[in-house]
């Protein structure tokens, strides 16, 4: 993978994570690289669970990436809320 394809991969992953962040409530905007990281992890989770379903752009299967990113964002949101509750009790 050359540098252009890598940046396009990051861009597609970030867009998928941005779509998932709009669907899953409770997560703010954290920047491009955070969204790209969530998109990459979400694509990995989605493709592991669903397989390569639907269209792919630059090696990122879109449907599993969006669903996987949503699952990842939702789980991060739950962990964040549990951690904040635990700190308020202390």
CA-closest candidate to residue 30, choices 41, 18, 45, 40: 18
Average of per-residue pLDDT across 59-84: 83
13 close to 44: Cβ distance less than 8 angstroms: no
Name the pLDDT band for 43 (thresholds 50, 70, 90). Answer: confident
- Per-residue pLDDT, averaged over 21-25, amounts to 70
User: What pLDDT is stored for residue 47 in this prediction?
Assistant: 85
pLDDT at 1: 64
Q: Say if CB 6 and CB 40 are below 8 A apart.
A: no
């Amino acid at each position: 993978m050359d540098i252009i394809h890598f940046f396009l991969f990051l861009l597609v992953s970030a867009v998928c994570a941005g779509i998932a962040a709009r669907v899953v409530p409770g997560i703010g905007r954290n920047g491009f690289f955070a969204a790209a990281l969530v998109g990459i992890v979400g694509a990995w989770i989605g493709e592991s669970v669903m397989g390569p379903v639907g269209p792919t752009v630059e090696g990122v299967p879109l449907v599993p990436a969006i669903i996987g990113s949503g699952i990842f964002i939702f789980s991060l949101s739950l962990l964040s809320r549990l951690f904040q509750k635990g700190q308020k009790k202390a």
